[in-house]
Amino acid sequence: MKDRIVLAYSGGLDTSVAIGWIADATGAEVIAVAVDVGQGGESLETVRQRALGCGAVEAYVADARDEFANEYCVPTLKANGLYQGHYPLVSAISRPVIVKHLVKAAREFGATTVAHGCTGKGNDQVRFEVGIQTLGPDLKCIAPVRDLALTRDKAIAYAEEKHLPIVTTKKNPYSIDQNVWGRAVETGYLEDIWNAPTKDIYDYTQSPEFPPAPDEVTITFKQGVPTALDGVELTPLQVIQELNRRAGAQGVGRIDVVEDRLVGIKSREIYEAPGAMALITAHKHLEDVTIEREHARFKATVGQRWSELVYDGQWFSPLKRALDGFIEDSQQYVSGDIRMTLHGGQAIVNGRRSDTSLYDFSLATYDTGDTFDQSSAKGFIDIWGMASKVASGRDQRVAGE
């Protein structure tokens, strides 16, 4: 029997050509696997038929949209996951769910090897291969673009020569990756980091310069999970989709950063993540009223470390799993409503209510009804400042000697 290789298939030129390219180079049969993580565009059936038309012996398509929303986007929201404080981990969280389906397909179809279309310069190759090694330690990995020298020009020539059912138009100057959590655009004109992004780069967001009338939305959370918008119960996937639409119309969630890739390169990235950024803002504000101070401070550092691990391809690692345990536990009381206004590129919280709030009006108020005993403050401050005061006395004594 021929060896079998499972290929992560997007339906685009590179991975369509990779089907025949891999078969020619290895003599193996290729099984194309396409995973829907809410990237939009063509139907999965169209993508499936194209894979078969390009020579795949089998084509497996998975609708992973709810799985991706529930098991990848929601944990990122609970962590307030932003790599380097900016990037909501759009591509980083989609690779592990794709890996799960690749490994599952490899088992079903008796494949020995998994292939992906990444280059050798990015993070995604690491995320795919570390994930595959972890979930399928016996599986081998190949990357035709990186390891079998499949360049864009060769891909176009190959597609034309073999009459593959794919349009081989002039290269889009940008490398784009998108899913329901957001969209990433890089390369081309953006590689000059002084160049401002042009309008054509954006797809999930409208320009915030001429926004429609302000849009006020109430987001309901139960233990950190978004469960309703304006009182209408929705699944996490539906909440993200609806906020992509509403926050996107207001230009919320445009991000322009130079970020540190795992492979040591600094790279310029444009992201748009209207739903993700509106949700993270709302969620953080709900945590502000429901999580105790020291717990919240520590959680912020956990969330940062969690984001670095996820960015760096360690989704399935023991440390990431242990931090998930901490984050999950922290969400016990993160329930309630956040009201926010979406307008002109911003998502601004203007109201919060929660049955599990720690906000105590009678402690906070400066009006009548104050229950805070101000006379305790003086002694507290004397003791709180004691250590610094003793050290400063020592500094002055030594300086005077």
Catalytic residue list: 14, 95, 124, 175
Phi-psi bin for 92: left (phi > 0), alpha (psi -120 to 50), beta?
A: alpha
Give min distance, CB of 328 to ligand ARG, in A. Answer: 24
* Pick 263 or 391: Cβ nearer ligand ARG: 263
Give min distance, CB of 120 to ligand ARG, in A. Answer: 12
Of 25-33, 161-169, 175-183, 188-196, the window that binds ligand ARG (rule: CB under 6 A) is 175-183
Q: Does 337 bind ligand ARG (CB under 6 A)?
A: no
Beta strands in 210-262 (DSSP E): 215-222, 225-229, 232-233, 254-260
Residues 210-229 that bind ligand ARG (CB under 6 A): none
Give min distance, CB of 228 to ligand ARG, in A. Answer: 30
Q: For strand 58-63 and strand 29-36, is the pairing parallel, antiparallel, or unpaired? A: parallel
Q: 235 burial class (0-12, 13-18, 19+ CB within 10 angstroms)?
A: middle
Question: Judged by CB under 6 A, which of 177, 272, 287, 312 binds ligand ARG?
Answer: 177
In angstroms, the CA 54 to CA 158 distance is 11
Of 7-15, 138-146, 176-184, 338-346, the window that binds ligand ARG (rule: CB under 6 A) is 176-184
Contacts of 45 by beta carbon, 8 Å cutoff, 6+ apart: 61
Host H or E run for residue 378: helix 375-384
Give min distance, CB of 276 to ligand ARG, in A. Answer: 13
In angstroms, the CA 171 to CA 152 distance is 8
**Contact flags string 91-130 toward ligand ARG, x per CB under 6 A:** xx------------------------------xx------
CA-to-CA separations, 218 to 279, 285, 338, in angstroms, rounded: 11, 13, 6
* Pick 174 or 298: Cβ nearer ligand ARG: 174
User: How many positions of this chain bind ligand ARG (CB under 6 A)?
Assistant: 10
Give the pair of three-digit tokens for residue 142: 């190949």
Question: Judged by CB under 6 A, which of 71, 186, 260, 337 binds ligand ARG?
Answer: 186
Q: Helices 90-109 and 293-311 meet at what angle, rounded to 10? A: 60
In angstroms, the CA 146 to CA 204 distance is 30
Of 12-20, 172-180, 231-239, 295-303, the window that binds ligand ARG (rule: CB under 6 A) is 172-180
Give min distance, CB of 119 to ligand ARG, in A. Answer: 8
Give min distance, CB of 64 to ligand ARG, in A. Answer: 17
* Pick 30 or 190: Cβ nearer ligand ARG: 190
Question: Judged by CB under 6 A, which of 19, 37, 135, 184 binds ligand ARG?
Answer: 184
In angstroms, the CA 365 to CA 318 distance is 45
Give min distance, CB of 44 to ligand ARG, in A. Answer: 20
Residues 40-99 that bind ligand ARG (CB under 6 A): 91-92
* Pick 80 or 91: Cβ nearer ligand ARG: 91
Give min distance, CB of 92 to ligand ARG, in A. Answer: 4
In angstroms, the CA 126 to CA 184 distance is 17
* Pick 91 or 250: Cβ nearer ligand ARG: 91
* Pick 177 or 287: Cβ nearer ligand ARG: 177
**Contact flags string 259-278 toward ligand ARG, x per CB under 6 A:** ----------x---------
Question: Judged by CB under 6 A, which of 43, 84, 172, 175 binds ligand ARG?
Answer: 175
Give the full edge-to-edge strand order of the sheet including 254-260. Answer: 175-179, 182-186, 266-272, 254-260
Contact between 84 and 112 (Cβ < 8 Å): no
**262-296 burial, b if ≥16 CB within 10 A, otherwise e?**
beeeebbbbbbbbbbbbbbbbbbbbbbbbbeeeee
Residues that bind ligand ARG (CB under 6 A): 91-92, 123-124, 175-177, 184, 186, 269
